[in-house]
Homo-oligomer: A and B are copies of this chain.
Amino acid sequence: MPHRQGIMVDTSRGGRDAESEQSGESRTANVVRHLEALIFDGDLQPGQFLPSEGELAAEMGVSRLTVREGVRTLEARGLLEVRRGRRPAVAHPNAAPLSGFFAASLRRDPRNLLELVEVRLALEVHATTLAAQHATRTALTSLELAFDTMRQATDEESFNQADVRFHAMLAAASGNQMISFLIEAMDEPMHESRLRSLRGHLARGRSMDDIMDEHARILAAVRERDARAAAEAMREHLVQTRMDLRAFLALPTGDGQG
């Protein structure tokens, strides 16, 4: 009989089956599995609430503290949304865990930026192929809207924002949510590098019109449903962007800067 103390009676209820509890693991791990079961196999839809910490603790025969640790774990994994005063809610699928991973990778070693750029290139090129094949009419409209916003942008920051949106809409047009999440997850961590890329772009003696042309070519090919041309246009655009970033990294000012 493993660690029991005080008046912790085991008779929490009449017929509790002990099968679902692995005694080799920690109680918190058991709580995590229990919560996962509630989320995945229970009939809880995203946004719906779990029992309160106290109820969960009573159900599982552990203290509230242990429940809290399990809840924290699943919150960090993006499966639960915890807000003070409210019961824990099943989270809508979201890219936060991915975002955290990429951000952490960059903070650990800024050189990972170039690796991330490669990942992005691979994903976006494929997303463009899929978008040309499957994009719905509304998705196309959103894409065109984002393109127009880019064209009307005046300052660097709003241009960047519109650029991010264009790429996000393109990913969304692919119809593949996993790809969308991955690309979205890279946006935040790579925000800084975008501005740098832009500076490197200018340093290479290229203009904003070049960038707009590249995007125009992508948009046109997607609109014409020419998957091969669209993918190629995106690849060329991203290769240029990669060169822009390298140009910035080679700049005298941008050398030692993390």
Contact = CB atoms under 8 A, between A and B. Distances in A.
Interface of A: 26, 28, 36, 40, 65, 68-69, 72-79, 84, 93, 97-98, 100-101, 104-105, 107-108, 112, 115-116, 118-119, 121-123, 125-127, 130, 176-179, 182
When all copies of this chain in the complex are counted, the total is: 2
30 contacts: A28-B72, A40-B104, A69-B69, A72-B72, A72-B73, A72-B76, A73-B73, A73-B76, A76-B77, A78-B101, A93-B105, A93-B108, A97-B97, A97-B101, A105-B178, A112-B178, A115-B178, A116-B178, A118-B126, A118-B130, A118-B176, A119-B123, A119-B176, A119-B178, A122-B123, A122-B126, A122-B127, A122-B179, A123-B123, A125-B126
Contacts of A97: 77, 97, 100-101
A176 to B, nearest CB: 5
Nearest to A46: B108
A84 B176 contact: no
A36 B68 CA distance: 21
Nearest to A182: B119
A144 B93 CA distance: 39
Contacts of A108: 40, 93
Contacts of A125: 122, 126
Contact of A101 (B77, B116, B119): B77
A182 B123 CA distance: 12
Do most interface residues of chain A lie in helix, strand or loop, or is the interface mixed? helix
Contacts of A176: 115, 118-119
Contacts of A100: 77, 97
Given A68-B69, A69-B69, 18 more contacts: A26-B84, A69-B72, A72-B72, A72-B76, A73-B73, A73-B75, A77-B104, A97-B100, A105-B178, A112-B177, A112-B178, A118-B126, A118-B176, A119-B182, A122-B127, A122-B179, A123-B123, A125-B126
Contact of A98 (B76, B84, B101, B118): B101
Contacts of A178: 105, 112, 115-116, 118-119
